[in-house]
A and B are shown apart, each in its own frame.
Chain A
Amino acid sequence: MSAKTRYFVIVSLLVMGVGLGTGLVAYYVGFPATAFFSKNGPEELRYMPSTATVVGAVEVREIMASDLRQRLKDKFGSDAQDNSRRQFQELTGINFETDIERIVACFDSHSSADNTALVLARGTFDATKIEALMREHGAEVQDYRGKRLILATKLFPEDTADHALNNDSNDTDVQPRKLPAHNTNMALTFIEPGLVAFGGRPLVEQAIDLHTGGGSSAATNDDLVAHLRGLEGSNAWIVGRLDAIRERAKLPEFVANQIPPITWFTVRGQIDGGVAARITAEARDDESANQLRDVVRGFLALAKLQTSSKPEFQRFVQSLQLGGTGTTVSLAVDVPAQVFDALGAAVPKQKQ
């Protein structure tokens, strides 16, 4: 091999090595091994407000592929689900079953906006198609800090709603429904490739601000992150402050007094062959926690009494375990797949 050839081979291999090495580093830095749930929660928290009251996440693709989902689909039929999925796809261009990898959502009770929810969906999206479809349904596009902000200020204007829901000529069983036209302040943007933000306009704009400039976000909210640490390994979870929601809800005093004085609550779920979940609540003090435990214990006793003659529900009720110490009250439930089979057998078959 001549020197010229040898140099060519070296340069070529060098370009490939540097290129692939850089790509590999970018891949691992951008997407840690436990991308969905690193120690401090999912990376989407960086785009959520630090004042978020409730944060939840669902690993959609994992759940859609779970044995339980397939089992439920077989047992209860899927025509209605398929129709809903098809309608959602016609409206948004997103196939819920295959396009979405996971969803992380938050609710910010401190926000002054009309719509205080923000949904971040990660997956494979056709941005062009989604934007075109939304524009077809009355959305407008504006530029915000270099990102295309799709504003659904008037969702489902009458003419487009009709079109959207009736253009499936094969679907003769589904009665045409007209969604009411109404004003919204919703916005959608593609924060980065494969990550779409949808929700109230101020929150979506804030997500763009956090993406471009960084700053204080849900990921820097130490209390929230501390509660998220206990949720590792689950594929669906919710964390929130019940006291903040109660303040926002402005409930009548006699109703508010009936609600236990809970500060933080978490719901941790693992859906695969069955469902394993744990609901945890933190009461304001030990006395409140004991009262809460008594209430739950009472409900459990009542449930056992009610289901003594219904074997299909007995296993579910027996799996409920009350626990927790100090100010923490927890209720664990482990529902194996057989319970769903029994429930499926108990439910009368739908007419074909």
Chain B
Amino acid sequence: METPRVIPSALRVFEFSLGQMLWSRRSVFLALLVGAPIAMALGIRIIAAAHGLPVINGAGLTGPTLFGILMWLLFVRFIVPVLGVFYGTSLIADEVDDKTITYLFTRPVPRSAVLLGKYFSYLACVVLLVLPSVIVVYFLIVPIGGSIGQSFPQLAADLGMLVVGLASYGAVFSWVGARLKRPLIVGLVFAFGWESTVLLIPGYLKRLSVAYYLQALVPHAMPQDSSISSLLSAFQELPAVWVSLVCLTGITVVGLWLAGRTVEKREYVLEQ
């Protein structure tokens, strides 16, 4: 019997994985993650309507500035890596933990197609949740002293950046999830330990992180909210946008290829 090709098989896996991923226990966590910025934006909107936005150094904050701060602090530095870690590492690891991976691997589809289909369903799931959340936050915040039309190119750039970021983090952590036994801990250490640290160290080490390339795509100025941010700004040496895009695409492709190869070669021993 001829083995089905990778892409049609991956699409089939995608189809059933999407629903599974959307309505799983993890979705509660996901809903909290994307709902929190909306609740925060709603709160800011109500406060701004009643008292106006706070004044810093004698000058009033504006909606577009605040939106930029939210993008940096909530989405770029927290939500995108967290989603990548939690969902990326679970693509294969969850099936192993639930001891259901055998059912998938005994199907007449290439093993890499299983991973690819699950990766696409992760991407669709997070994109369909995160992007609408950003758009709602944008429409709640930006009109406070700002113009929707004028800030629109920044929103478009933000959305593109988020998709690229989610794809890259997802690919890296799907490999981590396929390769390691305790992928979540390693993923969290990588996302919030390694990435934050290397960005502070002058030199070439920062090029071994996803955040370095992703930050170059953010169209807003980096907020000076803490001493770490000030240090980051001091050592800020961002690559060109095209370099970032090429590198992030490379990270995604290589991450997926490594993950697919690992899934093809590795023998998963299920604990009894």
Chain A residues engaging chain B, CB cutoff 8 angstroms: 1-2, 4-5, 8-9, 12-13, 15-16, 19-20, 22-24, 26-31, 127-132, 135, 141, 148, 192-194
Contact = CB atoms under 8 A, between A and B. Distances in A.
Contacts of B153: 27
B214 interface: no
Contacts of B64: 193
A192 B145 CA distance: 8
Contact of B147 (A12, A22, A193): A193
A128 B223 CA distance: 13
Contacts of B59: 127-132, 148
Contact of A193 (B19, B57, B150): B150
Contact of A31 (B138, B146, B150, B156): B150
B56 A128 contact: yes
Contact of B23 (A4, A9, A23, A31): A4
A347 to B, nearest CB: 36
Nearest to B20: A5
A19 B22 contact: no
A127 B62 contact: yes
**Most-contacted residue by chain A among B18, B58, B61, B159 (CB, 10 A):** B58
B83 interface: no
Interface of B: 15, 18-19, 22-23, 56-62, 64-65, 124, 128-129, 131-132, 135-136, 138-139, 145-153, 155-156, 159
B63 to A, nearest CB: 8
A10 B139 CA distance: 20
A8 to B, nearest CB: 6
Given A12-B132, A132-B59, A22 B148 contact: yes
Contact of A15 (B132, B148, B152): B132
B148 A26 contact: yes
Contact of A19 (B57, B139, B146): B139
Given A23-B156, A132-B59, 10 more contacts: A9-B124, A12-B129, A19-B135, A23-B148, A27-B150, A27-B153, A28-B149, A30-B147, A148-B59, A193-B145
A23 B19 contact: no
Interface centre among A2, A19, A29, A141 (most CB of B within 10 A): A19
Contacts of A5: 18-19, 22-23
B135 A135 contact: no
A291 B131 CA distance: 68
Nearest to B124: A9
Contacts of A130: 59
Contacts of A20: 135, 156, 159
A7 B112 CA distance: 29
14 contacts: A12-B129, A16-B132, A19-B132, A20-B159, A23-B138, A23-B149, A23-B155, A26-B148, A30-B147, A31-B149, A127-B60, A130-B59, A135-B58, A193-B145
Given A16-B135, A128-B57, A131-B59, A8 B22 contact: yes
A5 B124 CA distance: 12
Nearest to B16: A1
B146 A193 contact: yes
B20 to A, nearest CB: 9
Contacts of B155: 23
A15 B128 CA distance: 10
A148 B22 contact: no
Contact of B149 (A12, A27, A129, A148): A27
Contacts of B62: 127, 193
A66 B64 CA distance: 30
B187 to A, nearest CB: 26
B23 A131 contact: no
A130 B131 CA distance: 33
Contacts of A4: 19, 23
B128 A12 contact: yes
A24 B139 CA distance: 13
Contacts of A193: 62, 64, 145-147, 150-151
A309 to B, nearest CB: 51
Closest 9 CB pairs of A and B: A30-B149, A26-B149, A19-B135, A131-B59, A15-B132, A128-B59, A12-B128, A27-B152, A5-B19
Contacts of B23: 4-5
A203 B146 CA distance: 23
Given A4-B23, A15-B136, A19-B136, A148 B151 contact: no
Contacts of B58: 131-132, 135, 141
A228 to B, nearest CB: 23
B19 A1 contact: yes
